[in-house]
Chain A
C-alpha cells in the first residue's frame, strides 16, 4: 500500500480478553517497529522486526504481550488477558532498512480501550 496501515483504528475490549492489533507496512520495508503511546506520554518502544525476526523482545511490557511478523510483511501485536493499564494508542512504523538514519513511516495507530 501507499502507507502504513493499522487495524482496527479503535478497539474497546473487556478486561481479561485477548486482542490482536494488525500492522501492514509499506511494501518493501524490511524494518517494522511497534510503539505504545499512553495518555500524556511520549512513545514507548516495544519491539522491532528485521524481516520476520525480532532480535530483542525486552521492550515488551510483560509476557502478556507478543508479536509476530510473517512473509516479511504484516505484523500482529497480541495482548493476552488485557488489563486497564494496557489502554493506549499502539503505533506501528516501518522503514526501508534497520539504521539510525532511516526515516520511519508511521501508521495512524490503534486506540485500545480496556473497560
Chain B
C-alpha cells in the first residue's frame, strides 16, 4: 500500500519570498503519479501540480515547482514569489495503476503568508 507523509503541520512565509513544503511517500509500485493540491477556506481542493514518476524532469507551473527525488521518495513543492492568495492547506497525494484513480493523501500543511 502507498503512504504519503507531510511532516510540517504549519509553515509561514513572507509575501514575495520562497517557501518549500515537504512530502515523502512510500510505494512498491513502478509507475505512479504525485500531486499537490491546495485547499483554501472554501474547502474546494484545487490541483496545483502533478508529476509522473517516470519523468525525470521536475514539473513546473508558473510560480509552483516540485523537487522530485525518486530514489529518496521525496516530492517537495516550492512556491516562489509567495502571494497572500497562496495561504491555504496544501496536500500531497499519490495514485498508482491499481488505485483506480483514487488519491492517497498526506495530512496537509497549513501555509500562512505574512504581508
Q: Which residues does A use to contact B, with CB under 8 Å?
A: 31, 33, 35, 40-43, 45, 48, 50, 55-56, 59, 89, 91, 93, 95, 97-104, 106-109, 111
Contact = CB atoms under 8 A, between A and B. Distances in A.
Interface stretch (B13-21, B66-74, B76-84, B90-98): B90-98
Q: How large is the interface on B (under 10, 10 to 19, 20 to 34, 35 or more residues)?
A: 20 to 34
A89 B107 CA distance: 14
B100 A48 contact: yes
Interface of B: 4, 6, 31-33, 42-47, 50, 52, 91, 93, 95-97, 99-108
B10 to A, nearest CB: 11
A95 B102 CA distance: 10
Contact of A104 (B6, B31, B47, B106): B47
A104 B100 contact: no
Contacts of B103: 33, 35, 43, 45, 104
